[in-house]
Chain A
């Protein structure tokens, strides 16, 4: 149980284009989903927290107009990187939780490369 998927697993795009990453909880209802970014040999950095049906809460320094997050259902959240630039190249990981005190279950990650 507690499986989270991400799609795509990797994506290469040109600078200036937008990329959408999907995060799905396959066998449980995720009231809260989290989006992280991880650069090589660094820790996971929380970008935003989203609750189903409400606006995402972004961490300090994360541009909400650049990283659009939608959590339209209890099993799906999307992250759209708008007008991507090479510095946005990173490993993006989502996680899902069914409640405040529950463990987060992570997706396999999406490797974004912006040329």
Chain B
């Protein structure tokens, strides 16, 4: 069956450290993968998009890797800050005959001051 898995347990880290979140998927061949941030009671906010032919992408303190062999993406936040505390969602474009995005359940990140 097709699945997107993100660690359901919350990730707690100390301010200044690097947070690493994992997204694994099975039985998909996404054209690209996206990461979003979602705060409680709010809609997701787009962060980064990485395509299937890209290994790594960076944006300021954010870095995303995409390994289509392992079917895994890693999302890193360096020099984390309390304001980075949120739920981070992984999303795949599966492009099955149309534009369709499938979301993981997200991982909650807490950054302690």
Contact = CB atoms under 8 A, between A and B. Distances in A.
- Is the A/B pair a real complex? yes
A42 B106 CA distance: 8
Interface stretch (B37-45, B53-61, B74-82): B37-45
B58 to A, nearest CB: 17
A104 B42 contact: no
B42 A49 contact: no
A46 B101 contact: yes
B44 A100 contact: no
Interface size class of A (residues with CB under 8 A): 20 to 34
Interface in A68-115: 91, 93, 95, 97, 100-101, 103-109, 111
Contact of B34 (A6, A36, A103, A111): A103
Interface size class of B (residues with CB under 8 A): 20 to 34
Contacts of A32: 99
Given A43-B105, A103-B34, A103-B49, A109 B100 contact: no
B41 A111 contact: yes
Interface in B54-113: 89, 98-106
Contacts of A49: 98-100
A62 interface: no
A93 B49 contact: no
Contacts of B41: 91, 109, 111
Nearest to A41: B105
Interface of A: 4, 6, 32, 34, 36, 41-46, 49, 57, 91, 93, 95, 97, 100-101, 103-109, 111
